[in-house]
Amino acid sequence: MTANHKDQVLAALRACGVREEELGGDLTSRTPLTGDSLLSVPRASREDVAEAIEAADSAFKQWRDVPAPVRGNVVKRWGELLTEHKRDLAILVQAEAGKSMSEAEGEVQEMIDICDFAVGQSRMLYGKTMPSERPGHRLMETWHPIGVVGVISAFNFPVAVYSWNTAIALVCGNTVVWKPSEMCVLSALGAHSLLARAVSDCDAPADIHRLVLADRTAGEAIVDDPRVALVSATGSTRMGKEIAPRVAQRFGRYLLELGGNNAAIVTPSADLDLALRGIVFAAAGTAGQRCTTLRRLLVHNSIADSLVPRIADAYGTLTIGDPRDESVLVGPLVNETSFNAMQQALQDAEAQGGEILCGGKRVLADEFPNAFYVQPAIVKMPAQTEVVQAETFAPILYVMTYENFDEAIEMHNAVPQGLSSAIFTQDQSEAERFLASSGSDCGIANVNIGTSGAEIGGAFGGEKETGGGRESGSDAWKAYMRRATNTINYSGELPLAQGVKFL
């Protein structure tokens, strides 16, 4: 880590409003760019987490009665501050997540976009009015805040996915306790400080948002605390299997965004130039560390020999290295654990009949001995073996062929995960069949675009072992509220429903 980079990170923190006293402690941020340590922060204890939840719960009792459009003013101000400090926060995201500046700024732009969306949503928390069977009665539904929302976020999108939850939760009248990945504490401090400033500028209760910087024990405290009405967690399927029963045991709510094992089908009618571009970004972008990364490519056997070599050739042109160089397209894996998991998956693939067509090797080890840069890999597989069924959070693209469309759909759906999916085709019938109930079984299904790059206007989430939750746009706001059905009698009489007679 050069002194210049650390100075740049410090300057970005200060620009976001982080104070010197918030730094220094035993929880150290490490940058995957070089493998070196950045800065340290104090580690929250379980008692600190309990105090944060108590404060958020107390603030909720005031915040829930603030009119929703007024609550929206806080999120509006947050969006303005994020716009003003977009580059500063992106510097922190790049330092901790290892993204290119384009992708890091794109992540902050997602935060700005969801703020815009949430401000509008603050005036559209609609309930229905239904006809009553009883004369002189009105039947309707109203939506109400639920309480403290605990947000547990992952390293690969250290601020964007958190903001999806937070912006919507706040306009819905909830308060938030955020436990970010311990690998991304500095970007969390930056985002939190900007929100704290927005809260102050709008004279809102200070504790409607609390940040706890800690390891897994802090997440467990959030999961188990009955004062946390909703736990929204992003991570592995293994993590989700631990969280869900613990929250359910106390009759809490959970919103889970878990593993993805995303596939794209390429049919004989596809525009192969278009498909090539979509496939390469979806498979190699962010060094394969997106939950929507393309991991399986299902190509019709009539075009495989022409398309797959073109993908391999395109991989050969990808610039791999320190993404502070703006010509770089593929940055590092987050740590050695991720690198070892990738190497093990490649060994398993070969043992299960696979052939590595390109990539998979570590590069730049002499220049960055403590960082882990790799060549994105393409592996030709004879079938969807055990290794293909599992998600490896690294740039490995498994390629398989199919003979007919029904087989392609069957192969596509034959994995435990169900997050994102895509088809490249110029045949309308194939596109419609892919989007139909008997087509893709994923929460996201795209036509002539890759599996990555979701917009905030649509609900984001998946099925099966992906968890089934929905965040961001559409009607995802309902996950952060409770519904009440109201009957209002203005008749002066007391008829019972279904014609029941009692008195």
Write the DSSP assignment of 287-356 as a string of letters. GG-STT-EEEEEEETTTHHHHHHHHHHHHHT--BS-TTSTT--B--BSSHHHHHHHHHHHHHHHHTT-EE
Q: Which residue has the tokens 């052939």?
A: 355
21 tagged catalytic: no
The closest of 391, 74, 98, 362 to 263, measured between CA atoms, is: 391
DSSP 449: S
Work out the burial of residue 202: count CB atoms within 10 Å of its CB; fewer than 13 is exposed, 13-18 middle, 19 or more buried.
middle
Alpha-helix runs per DSSP H in 64-136:
68-84, 86-97, 101-121
Q: Domain ranges for the chain, please list them.
A: 3-258+467-484, 262-447
The hierarchical CATH code for the domain 262-447 is 3.40.309.10
Q: Among 182, 257, 430, 471, which one carries the catalytic annotation?
A: 257
Local structure of 47: helix, strand or coil: helix
Q: In whole angstroms, what separates CA 229 from the centre of its chain?
A: 20
What pLDDT is recorded for position 81? 98
Q: What residues contact residue 3 under an 8 Å CB cut-off, 6+ apart?
A: none
**Amino acid sitting at position 261:** N
Distance CA 10, CA 234 (A): 28
Question: Which distant-in-sequence residues (6+ apart) come within 8 Å of 428 by Cβ?
Answer: none
d(CA 123, CA 121): 5
Low-confidence ranges of the chain (pLDDT < 50): none
- 3-258+467-484 to CATH, choices 3.40.50.280, 3.40.605.10, 3.90.380.10, 3.40.50.300: 3.40.605.10
What does each C-alpha distance from 118 to 23, 50, 260, 472 come to in angstroms? 31, 28, 26, 9
**For tokens 């939506």, what's the residue?**
143
Q: What single letter denotes the amino acid at residue 468?
A: G
Name 406's Cβ contacts closer than 8 Å, sequence gap at least 6. none
The answer to whether 3-258+467-484 and 262-447 have equal CATH topology is no
Which residues, in sequence order, are CB contacts of 489 under 8 Å at separation 6+? Answer: 134, 136, 137
Distance, CA of 281 to CA of 330 (rounded, Å): 10
Taking the C-alpha atoms of residue 255 and residue 265, their distance in angstroms, rounded to an integer, is 29
pLDDT in the model for residue 503 = 77
Report residue 374 CA to chain centroid gap: 23
Query: In 352-458, which ranges are continuous DSSP H helix?
Result: 386-389, 405-413, 428-435
Predicted pLDDT at 341:
98
pTM of the full structure: 0.96
Residue 2: predicted pLDDT: 65
In the numeric block, which tokens belong to residue 242? Answer: 């631990």
Does an H or E element contain 445, and which? strand 444-447
User: Which of 386, 409, 407 minimizes the C-alpha distance to 398?
Assistant: 386
Q: Are 178 and 188 in contact (CB under 8 A)?
A: yes
Predicted confidence at residue 418, as pLDDT, reads: 98
Do the Cβ atoms of 38 and 186 come closer than 8 Å? yes
